[in-house]
Structure 1
Amino acid sequence: MGFTENQEVLVKESWDILKLNIPELSLRFFATEVTVAHTTSKYLGSVHLKNGVIDPHFEVVKEALLRTIKEGVGKKWSEDMGSAWSEAYDQLAAAIKAEMKEDKGC
């Protein structure tokens, strides 16, 4: 399943709400054991591999992200919005994992 146009709209809509309270939400997110976010999947793959990130860590981060977004958008939260963010995260995680495997030489 790909990232749909409707999912993109939901992510952007919720981001507009979230960015109004970035300091608090960032602290909440990082307090839930979430690490670094930079711009390229290759860099992220390298950083994650170097820091010993393994597959189960991605699920912990995903759960922390979804909880933070749900709290951040409040009444605007819907199952569709959760699915949109979940799909966006899954695609990013897959790209990072692919780069980690490449860096590892697998």
Structure 2
Amino acid sequence: MGAELNRLSRYGWRVLRSIPLADKVDTDHLLIGPSGVFSINTKHHHKKAVGVGDDALKIDHGKPAPYARKSRAEAKRVVRVLERYCALPVPVDPVHSSSSAAAV
């Protein structure tokens, strides 16, 4: 994921990684660029089947994982931090990425 995000720098994007937030939570990647701010939550499930739904993911056809909800909550935390230091509202869009490949 990091290598793919780095490729966006030539288009005016900035990537920040592993940004610590409150309560021992971190944002995996923060993408800042021409069309906004995106909080990207990534998960890697080695050699697992990943099923994507509107609001949850299933790993190996198991119980739905609440990654989408967690990504939205993480984006809200990022908004609070950014707005503490900016004089204007800073919308942050949540993004979730799960992979099952051996290496990303």
Q: Structure 1 length as normaliser, TM-score?
A: 0.41
Higher relative contact order (CA 8 A, sep 6+): 1
Q: Which has the higher helix share?
A: 1
Q: Structure 2 length as normaliser, TM-score?
A: 0.41
